[in-house]
Chain A
Amino acid sequence: MTAVVWVCGVLLTVGAVLAVVRAEKGPSMLDRTIALDIVVTTMIAAVALYAAIERRTDVVPVLVVLSLVGFVGSVTIARFAAVEPEGEGRVRTREEIAAQEAERMDAEDEAEGSRRTGRREGYDEHHGGGAEGEVRG
């Protein structure tokens, strides 16, 4: 059993260190998320290994908590790394909201008018217009 524990410990340690190296190198936030996910999984395995060596049942709740934390972490980072249209990442002021609302009403009136007169210039607006926003790393 001692040899098994040593081999497992070395494998887990080397795996975690390689994942940390990837987390350091990046290049993007999502690569780091994946690498840190692997570190968390390796930690779960290490705690389980410890529980197996010592035959301790009281560390089993730690495994539950660690698997929860890993999930929340990676989902949160993925949400923040996803594409966000320009200006949507902050709280808008009252004036900005009023201005945007007025703009939207004008555009709707315009579309309505052009539909009545049979013009086709405002065609794109039926599909929400062209793509907006920027791609952020």
Chain B
Amino acid sequence: MTQDQWTTVADVASAVCLLGGAFLAFAAGVGVLRFPDLLARMHAGTKPQVLGLALVLIGLALRLRSGGAVWALVLVAVFQMLTAPVAAHMVGRAGYRTGKVRSDLLVVDELTDDQERAQVRDQGRPDDDDPRD
């Protein structure tokens, strides 16, 4: 294929990736508005943070097609993948400890069971009204 055809292919692939990333951002907006509790909203919010951002950056890289800028985009993607789990972990932990997790919506809740067992082991009595250690 000629150079022009390759350019067209890259542009089309870039458009598809950008559309996918934008759709994931839209889905996150809908999810964060409609889901019932903190953990469900966090689940919706992580979609554009990793996959959506990766798609948008791939789309941008296919469109820019120059070495230095593409490496900066790789840096953004790697950084986001390193920091998103840390931030999500801290938000989820703070939410659990301040009682914002609705246990009636959870299918499995191993943390509460473990904490109750640890409390029984340490103090010889379960302490129901306190969600923390």
Contact = CB atoms under 8 A, between A and B. Distances in A.
Report the contact-size class of chain A (Cβ under 8 Å from the partner): 35 or more
B29 A16 contact: yes
B93 to A, nearest CB: 7
Interface string B1-39: 000000000010011001101110111111011000010
A71 B94 contact: no
A98 interface: no
A44 B79 CA distance: 13
Chain B contact residues: helix, strand, loop or mixed: helix
B114 interface: no
Contacts, number: 192
Report the contact-size class of chain B (Cβ under 8 Å from the partner): 35 or more
Contacts of B93: 78, 82
Interface in B87-103: 87, 90-91, 93-95, 97-100
A16 B127 CA distance: 42
A78 B91 contact: yes
B45 A82 contact: no
17 contacts: A4-B18, A12-B25, A15-B27, A15-B48, A18-B33, A19-B28, A28-B95, A33-B91, A42-B28, A45-B52, A48-B18, A49-B18, A49-B22, A49-B56, A60-B76, A130-B127, A135-B99
